[in-house]
Chain A
Amino acid sequence: MAIIAFSTSGDSQEALLDLRFGRCKNFVLCDVEANKFSVVENSQNMDAAQGAGIQSAQNVIDHKAEVLITGNCGPKAFRVLNAAGISIYLGEAKPIVELLEDYKKGLLKKADSANVEGHWA
């Protein structure tokens, strides 16, 4: 089953979801079948002058995630993730383990377009 990526400023499944996608510090990845969690650094995009969302999307793609759970996703990041076939679900700033359960129960809302505008649009 899928690898799920969560945006966060923490480094474990107990950490809260970071509602920012492009400039989140880390992604916590969950291999759902093995029930294993791992951390991927994303701090290289926190201070990007532009294109943070695009490169964070690239980071998620490069780590073979098939599902992304985050708070907000802008138009450029959405375009990249969508093209790569990654499903995006929107969550609140709750612990990642709780969001995982919400996702399994089908309680999270799937984003079918960007839910926020670009910062410079």
Chain B
Amino acid sequence: MNIAIASGKGGTGKTTFAIAFFLANQERSRLLDCDVEEPNVHLFLKGKVVKEEKVTLLMPEIDNSLCTNCGKCVTACQFNALALAGKAGVIIFTELCHSCGGCALACPEGAIKEIDTEVGSISTTLVGDSSELTTGLLNIGHSAAPAVIIAVKKNKPIKEVAHRIVDSPAGTSCSFVASVSKSDYVILVTEPTPFGLHDLALAIEGIRELKLPFGVVVNRISSPDNLATAFCKKNDIPVLLQIEESRLVAETYSRGGTLLDALPHLKQDLRDLLDRLSGVI
């Protein structure tokens, strides 16, 4: 089963929850860090990196012996990644390229060749004996986050397991869509604040568009009846779990510990949750 953890608003505890969910179900799941612009799961899950691969995309390379400096490729590029610098010819900024291939189509001389260019990397870490963490990392300055996310999701594990947990980036843009797409279920982690609720509503709008089943985890509650639960009740959205506000969680986190280190009683709740979602019970 593919389960994506997302939120809309940043800082609600997506990664904190995803790590705890994974650790509670370690023998039957693997974790994918798809927050490729700033992956941080590996800071909390110590392990050995056993595999590293490059992520490449096709990007233009110009054959100066064929180029006539006509500038048609510059006009065709919708991402402002090309410039015609007078006699110096065409300059390519690959970090802005979206690999659409438009420049190669527009070139009347056939002077543009599309070649594999590195935009990011994927690493596999063994956590404990055999459970896997797959981390995507977008190269600095590059804009092709969705391509790296899709590559992480397609990356073959060393050992296949029953469940795949995807830690998604914050927001509701292309990276979010790439992360949650084709999931069997999306867990939205929110906090009971107006900000949390505002962005939760945006994320729900996106997920409904994608026609994916979803439920909500409310993090850092001071009361079981709160803004988020009222919103979910009103909109007929299942509340999967509520996690109490706790200074201990913050202190543990600041030392690199996990949610389960601070609140071990959650382990059973998180095992039950996966059972429920996968229909075991």
Select one of A54, A81, A83, A120 contacting B80, CB under 8 A.
A54
Residue positions of B touching A, CB distance < 8 A: 74, 79-88, 91, 93, 96, 140-141, 143
Chain A residues, Cβ within 8 Å of B86: 61, 83-85
Select one of B81, B88, B140, B143 contacting A83, CB under 8 A.
B88
Are A57 and B80 in touch, CB under 8 angstroms? no
Are B85 and A50 in touch, CB under 8 angstroms? no
Taking A58-B74, A81-B85 as given, write out 7 further A-B residue pairs in contact, using a Cβ cutoff of 8 Å, ordered by the A residue number.
Answer: A50-B80, A54-B83, A55-B83, A80-B83, A83-B85, A85-B88, A120-B141
Select one of A51, A84, A121 contacting B93, CB under 8 A.
A51
Are A55 and B80 in touch, CB under 8 angstroms? yes
Query: How far does the alpha carbon of A81 sit from the alpha carbon of B88 in the complex, in Å?
Result: 10
Chain B residues, Cβ within 8 Å of A54: 80-83, 93, 96
Chain A residues, Cβ within 8 Å of B143: 50
Are B141 and A48 in touch, CB under 8 angstroms? no
What's the nearest-Cβ distance from chain A to residue B11, in Å?
Answer: 21
The contact size tier of chain A is 20 to 34
Query: How far does the alpha carbon of A76 sit from the alpha carbon of B83 in the complex, in Å?
Result: 10
Across the A-B interface, the 3 shortest Cβ-Cβ residue pairs? A51-B80, A83-B85, A83-B88
Are B80 and A48 in touch, CB under 8 angstroms? yes
Chain B residues, Cβ within 8 Å of A50: 79-80, 96, 143
Select one of A81, A84, A118 contacting B141, CB under 8 A.
A118
Query: How far does the alpha carbon of A117 sit from the alpha carbon of B127 in the complex, in Å?
Result: 38
Q: Is A79 an interface position by the 8 A CB rule?
A: yes
Are A80 and B85 in touch, CB under 8 angstroms? yes
Chain B residues, Cβ within 8 Å of A49: 79
- A76, closest chain B residue (CB): B93
Are A61 and B84 in touch, CB under 8 angstroms? yes
Query: How far does the alpha carbon of A71 sit from the alpha carbon of B81 in the complex, in Å?
Result: 23
Q: Is A52 an interface position by the 8 A CB rule?
A: yes
Chain B residues, Cβ within 8 Å of A84: 85-88
Chain B residues, Cβ within 8 Å of A83: 85-86, 88, 91
Query: How far does the alpha carbon of A48 sit from the alpha carbon of B84 in the complex, in Å?
Result: 18
Chain A residues, Cβ within 8 Å of B81: 51, 54
Are A80 and B80 in touch, CB under 8 angstroms? no
What's the nearest-Cβ distance from chain A to residue B104, in Å?
Answer: 18
What's the nearest-Cβ distance from chain A to residue B149, in Å?
Answer: 18
Query: How far does the alpha carbon of A83 sit from the alpha carbon of B86 in the complex, in Å?
Result: 8
What's the nearest-Cβ distance from chain B to residue A41, in Å?
Answer: 17
What's the nearest-Cβ distance from chain A to residue B146, in Å?
Answer: 15
What's the nearest-Cβ distance from chain A to residue B74, in Å?
Answer: 7
Query: How far does the alpha carbon of A81 sit from the alpha carbon of B84 in the complex, in Å?
Result: 10
Query: How far does the alpha carbon of A81 sit from the alpha carbon of B83 in the complex, in Å?
Result: 10
Query: How far does the alpha carbon of A57 sit from the alpha carbon of B91 in the complex, in Å?
Result: 12
Contact with B along A39-70 (1 / 0, CB 8 A): 00000000011111011011001000000000
Chain A residues, Cβ within 8 Å of B87: 84-85
Query: How far does the alpha carbon of A58 sit from the alpha carbon of B82 in the complex, in Å?
Result: 9
Chain A residues, Cβ within 8 Å of B96: 50-51, 54
Looking at B74, B83, B84, B143, the one whose CB has the most chain A CB atoms below 10 A away is B83
Query: How far does the alpha carbon of A120 sit from the alpha carbon of B84 in the complex, in Å?
Result: 22
Query: How far does the alpha carbon of A74 sit from the alpha carbon of B80 in the complex, in Å?
Result: 15
Query: How far does the alpha carbon of A120 sit from the alpha carbon of B82 in the complex, in Å?
Result: 17
Query: How far does the alpha carbon of A81 sit from the alpha carbon of B85 in the complex, in Å?
Result: 7
Are A52 and B80 in touch, CB under 8 angstroms? yes
